[in-house]
Amino acid sequence: MSSNSIKRASALLTSFALLGAVVSGCGNGGNSEASSPPASSSSASNPASTEAASPSASANPEKKIKLEVIETGNNLPPPDQDIIKKELDKALNVDFNLTVYASGDDYKNQLNVRMASGNFPDLFALDRQQLIEFSKQGLLLDLTPYMDRLKQVSTFIGEENVKKGAVGGKVYAISKSSQIPYNTYFIRKDWLDSLNLEVPKTIEDLKTVAAAFTNDDPDKNGKKDTFGLTGAELNGAFAPVFGAFGVGSPGSVYEKDGKLVNALYDPAMKDALAFIKDMIATGSVDPELLANTAMQHQEKAFKGQAGIIWIDWPNMTKENMIEQIKAVNPKAEWIQIEPPAGPAGKFDGSWEIGNTPGRYAIPKALEKDPEKLQRVFDLLNYVSDPKTGSLLVQFGVEGMHFTKDGDKIVMTDKAGEVGYSWLYQFTGRPEMSYLQTKFVPQAEFIKFAGDQPRIQTLNGFVDLPEGYVASDADRYIKEELAKFAYGQRDLGEYDKFLKTLETTMKYKLFMDAAQEQLTALGYGNK
């Protein structure tokens, strides 16, 4: 900042501060007239101000340090009922303040404002795009020189995930350990039985069964009020169909026969679209497929309107979901099925291996406060320690929420109290064992979903090039594919669609970037 602009800024600030003083002065007057309790309650419930006054006073190295973390999430209890917070406070001698925002947009706004105004949280979640931007602006702490103080973290998340937090060879964020896929097709077994049908093995079977579910009155109520397949939009409902043709979800990049392929350029894409078009034309697919947002497809399945759905196991098999399914029709029986086979074998859709379920960064400003920085490292190491902290943020407090049976962890009936503990899993968790411990009745579904073959896509490794607007291109892809699938645009025009995408939507930029970056990582050179 030049001295001139500093002058200007300070002049501005002074004038604003004056205004602020006037306003707050009047505010106090107004308050004393209204009632006095609010004033006292506001200062009592405002630990920030009291805390801010004291820290420099004592030089005690063991003093409590206030740590502030922000991320997206929900269902966090108030601090006085938050057992995980209390345990972390005790273990690390900190005053932990976690704030979660339910909406990703709200969170982004909050983070941007705080980054812009220099009021940094001590640890915060961010996406890949933000990671790149903020690190370029010099707002994030380069963790590379500190990695030896984060040993526990790097062992826990693995070398692979450490790399995912790097920008230009420097680690700026800690990436959570990987997740496993949850989605599969679920199908109404009782409907199959009532129509004497077999579980669909191939995509042709799938088409037949879906048609039968639509036309042959599987719920035997004498009304034609059912259809076959539903899901969240085109890609959601037909993921295994794309998979059966060996095609990844539209827009994804993956290795095929040792070469890098973009799903949209995969020759099999046209075949997949043709098949989907035929299937939609039979009228057996949810007519509102493209309008299904949020969990509307699930609702339709629960209501008994659809017999096949591509969905995650938690939304289908957790106790409260079963309850809802049974409330509508006690005989309803949903079973998980393997992806139907097609010309290229069977794949249950795509699975992104370049992504991480979350990443956390530390602001560069924390460099100047080594004591606090150390506590943040302590925190990250602690929640990555499989013997102590990791157990806490996975399952709660030993003896209260879980007990150990040898090496095996058994949840107690109080486990529900810490259902929010995942908000504290800043470095992730060993996904499969975690889920199977925590969701015992669902263990089979979890394993089944995890075991299905998937097309491994690599988009997460690709940093978007400048000048390419992903949201515009994605929208265009979605719209045009919908037109092809619904027969509003002839498949013969597919190449024309690609042309427009490349030029108008600058998809070429993305393709080149993907090729270059993935090759550099060693993909596609077999």
Partner 1 sequence: MVKGLEDRLFNVFVYAVLVFCALLAIFPILYVVSVSITPFGEVLRNGGFILIPRDVTFSAYKTLLTQSNLPQAFKITVLITVVGTAVNLILTGLMAYPLSRKNLPGRRIFLLMIVFTLIFSGGLIPTYLIVKSVGLIDSIWAMILPNAIWSFNVLIMKSFFEGLPEELFESARIDGAKEFRILFQIVTPLSIPVIMTIGLFYLVGHWNEFFQAIFYVTDRTLFPLQVIVREILMQSQQTLENADNITPTQTLQMAAVMIASLPVLVVYPFIQKYFTKGMLLGSIKG
Contacts with partner 1 in 7-66 (CB under 8 A)? 12-13, 16-17, 19-21, 23-24, 26-27, 29-31, 33-35, 38, 41-43, 45-49
Distance separating alpha carbons of residues 398 and 410, to the nearest angstrom? 10
Which residue among 96, 101, 227, 238 contacts partner 1 (CB under 8 A)? 101
β-pair partners for 448: none
Which residue among 66, 91, 93, 99 contacts partner 1 (CB under 8 A)? 99
> Shortest Cβ distance from residue 405 to partner 1 (Å)?
22
Q: Which is nearer to partner 1, 45 or 58 (CB)?
A: 45
Which residue among 299, 333, 338, 369 contacts partner 1 (CB under 8 A)? 299
Using CB under 8 A as the binding rule, whether residue 323 contacts partner 1 is answered as yes
Q: Which of residues 331-390 bind partner 1 (CB under 8 A)?
A: 357
> Shortest Cβ distance from residue 450 to partner 1 (Å)?
12
Q: Which is nearer to partner 1, 381 or 442 (CB)?
A: 442
Residue 71's alpha-carbon distances to 106, 131, 355, 359, in angstroms, are 10, 14, 17, 10
Q: Which of residues 466-525 bind partner 1 (CB under 8 A)?
A: none
DSSP state of 363: B
Using CB under 8 A as the binding rule, whether residue 182 contacts partner 1 is answered as yes
Size of residue set near partner 1 by CB under 8 A: 76
β-pair partners for 403: 410
> Shortest Cβ distance from residue 392 to partner 1 (Å)?
15
Q: What φ, ψ does residue 202 adopt, rounded to 5°?
A: -125, 170
Q: Which of residues 419-438 bind partner 1 (CB under 8 A)?
A: 419-422, 435, 438
Secondary structure in 3-state letters for 466-508: CCCCHHHHHHHHHHHHHHHHCCCCCHHHHHHHHHHHHHCCCHH
Strand boundaries in 14-84, DSSP class E: 65-72
> Shortest Cβ distance from residue 103 to partner 1 (Å)?
5
Which residue among 439, 448, 468, 476 contacts partner 1 (CB under 8 A)? 439
Place of tokens 């966090």: 76
Q: Which is nearer to partner 1, 29 or 145 (CB)?
A: 29
Strand boundaries in 214-280, DSSP class E: 227-230, 253-256, 259-262
b/e per residue 295-305 (b: at least 16 CB within 10 A): eebbebbbebe
> Shortest Cβ distance from residue 358 to partner 1 (Å)?
10
Nearest Cα to Cα of residue 356 among 270, 425, 259: 425
Distance separating alpha carbons of residues 362 and 373, to the nearest angstrom? 9
Using CB under 8 A as the binding rule, whether residue 201 contacts partner 1 is answered as no
Q: Which of residues 229-258 bind partner 1 (CB under 8 A)?
A: 232
> Shortest Cβ distance from residue 147 to partner 1 (Å)?
27
Q: Which long-range contacts (CB under 8 A, 24 or more apart) does 106-113 make?
A: 107/70, 107/71, 107/72, 110/70, 111/70
Distance separating alpha carbons of residues 6 and 13, to the nearest angstrom? 10
> Shortest Cβ distance from residue 256 to partner 1 (Å)?
27
Secondary element (H or E) of residue 323:
helix 319-328
> Shortest Cβ distance from residue 23 to partner 1 (Å)?
6
Q: Which of residues 118-177 bind partner 1 (CB under 8 A)?
A: 119, 121
Distance separating alpha carbons of residues 354 and 161, to the nearest angstrom? 9
What are the structure tokens assigned to 401, written together? 């929420």
> Shortest Cβ distance from residue 294 to partner 1 (Å)?
4
Which residue among 55, 86, 93, 97 contacts partner 1 (CB under 8 A)? 97
Q: Which is nearer to partner 1, 226 or 262 (CB)?
A: 226
Instruction: Give the helix ranges, DSSP H, for 35-82.
Output: 37-44, 47-53
Q: Which is nearer to partner 1, 65 or 150 (CB)?
A: 65
Distance separating alpha carbons of residues 60 and 116, to the nearest angstrom? 32
> Shortest Cβ distance from residue 182 to partner 1 (Å)?
7
